[in-house]
Amino acid sequence: MSPEKMVHMANQIATFFRSQRGDDQAERVAAHLRDYWEPRMREQLKEYVAKGGEQLDALVIEASRQL
């Protein structure tokens, strides 16, 4: 998938969980990615984060470390 599309999708997820209460938003983003993103997609995300994670929501970057 194109990096732009991946970033868009991941940031959408972060935007939702940021709006939820509690202080475990990153964990919940990570849980959502584990539950619904196929390993290839999570791998692509992790690689992208390793290369700097440009344009990614900070919550996604934090979540990706838990994957």
Partner 1 sequence: MKDFIIPFDERDMGTPSRTGAPVSLTIDGISVSVPEGSSVMRAAAEAGIKVPKLCATDSVEAFGSCRLCVVEIEGRRGTPASCTTPVAPGMVVRTQNDRLRKLRRGVMELYISDHPLDCLTCAANGDCELQDMAGAVGLRDVRYEAPQSGGLASHFTARDNSGQANPQWIPKDESNPYFTYDPSKCIVCSRCVRACEEVQGTFALTIEGRGFDSRVSFGAKSDNALASDCVSCGACVQVCPTATLQEKSMIELGTPTRSVVTTCAYCGVGCSFKAELNGDQLVRMVPWKHGKANRGHSCVKGRFAYGYAHHPERILKPMIRERITDPWREVEWDEAIGFAATRLRALQEKHGRKSVGVITSSRCTNEETYLVQKLARAVFGNNNTDTCARVCHSPTGYGLGQTFGTSAGTQDFDSVEHTDVAIIIGANPTDGHPVFASRLKKRLRTGARLIVIDPRRIDLVRSAHVEAAHHLPLRPGTNVAVLSALAHVIVTEGLVDEAFIRERCDYDEYLAYAEFISDPRHSPEATEALTGVKAADLRAAARLFASGGNGAIYYGLGVTEHSQGSTTVMAIANLAMLTGNIGRPGVGVNPLRGQNNVQGACDMGSFPHELPGYRHVKNSEVREIYERLWGVSIDPEPGLRIPNMLDAAVDGSFKGLYCQGEDILQSDPDTKHVAAGLAAMECVIVHDLFLNETANYAHVFLPGSTFLEKDGTFTNAERRINRVRRVMAPLNGFGDWEITQMLANAMGARWHYTHPAQIMEEIAATTPSFAGVDYALLEEKGSVQWPCNDSAPEGTPLMHVDGFMRGKGRLMITEYVPTDERTGPRFPLLLTTGRILSQYNVGAQTRRTANVVWHQEDVLEIHPHDAETRGINEGDWVKIASRSGETALRAHLTDRVSPGVVYTTFHHPDTQANVVTTDFSDWATNCPEYKVTAVQVSLSNGPSDWQEEYADLAARARRIMPAAE
Q: Does 9 bind partner 1 (CB under 8 A)?
A: yes
What's the gap between Cα 43 and its chain centre?
A: 11
H helix and E strand count, the chain = 4, 0
43 Ramachandran zone, left/alpha/beta (phi>0; psi -120 to 50): alpha
Per CB under 8 A, 65 contacts partner 1: no
Among 37, 45, 48, 49, binds partner 1 (CB under 8 A): 37
Q: Is 34 in the site for partner 1 (CB under 8 A)?
A: yes
Give residues in contact with partner 1 (CB under 8 A): 1-2, 5, 8-9, 12-13, 15-16, 19-21, 32, 34-41
